[in-house]
């Protein structure tokens, strides 16, 4: 292998890149949140809350490790948000399919999560394995991306699969949810 190009950036250019990365994350995230709320209605709002908690948990864990936010780290957060949205879309579509067959909200939610879980776990496990390989064989920025990605995948499974399911179960058990808004 031959190095074709190598660049060194100064602190002002690096901070500008990070600022622009954060701005693009906020703008893109806002569009995703808006789309989820419009397309999936109440279930989309729940997914939006789960994605927001996902980012909060991810940033809290990274802060606990005293991690520095770099451009590759921002890319890892963006990929994590994409994976979280994907998991929520899989769950919502499965619940929607079950509701179309005439099942009750409780049965639809249970079957939706049960049918979506294998696909969610497969995609997230393979992503974590890729992140571990990047961490093992990568250098500085690549390792930062890998750490952010792996931690983000763990928070994604926690929020998309468990946090939203706890909400649905609570609402159904309290008899406050008689119809799933999808």
Domains and CATH numbers, the chain: 25-173 (1.20.1640.10)
Model pLDDT, residue 9: 57
| DSSP string computed for 64-89 | HTT----HHHHHHHHHHHHHHHHHHH
Look at residue 68 in the predicted model and tell me its pLDDT.
Answer: 81
Sequence-separated (6 or more) residues with CB below 8 Å from residue 170: none
pLDDT of residue 89: 95
Average pLDDT of the chain is 88
CB-based burial label for 102 (10 Å; 0-12, 13-18, 19+):
exposed
Q: Extract the residue ranges of the chain whose pLDDT is less than 70.
A: 1-14
* DSSP category for residue 124: H
Residue 110's pLDDT is what? 95
């Amino acid at each position: 292998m031959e190095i074709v190009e190598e660049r060194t950036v100064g602190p002002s250019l690096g901070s500008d890149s990070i600022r622009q990365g954060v701005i693009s994350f906020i703008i893109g995230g806002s569009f995703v949140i808006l789309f989820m709320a419009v397309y999936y209605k109440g279930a989309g709002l729940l997914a939006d809350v789960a994605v927001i908690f996902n980012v909060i948990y991810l940033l809290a864990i990274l802060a606990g490790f005293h991690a520095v936010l770099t451009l590759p780290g921002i890319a890892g957060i963006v990929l994590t948000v994409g994976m979280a949205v994907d998991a929520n879309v899989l769950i919502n579509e499965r619940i929607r399919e079950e509701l179309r067959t005439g099942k009750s909200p409780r049965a639809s939610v249970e079957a939706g999560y049960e049918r979506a879980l294998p696909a969610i776990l497969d995609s997230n496990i393979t992503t974590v394995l890729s992140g571990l390989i990047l961490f093992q064989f990568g250098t500085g920025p690549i390792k930062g991306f890998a750490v952010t990605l792996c931690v983000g995948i763990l928070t994604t499974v926690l929020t998309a699969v468990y946090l939203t399911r706890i909400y649905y179960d609570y609402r159904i058990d309290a008899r406050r949810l008689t119809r799933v808004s999808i």
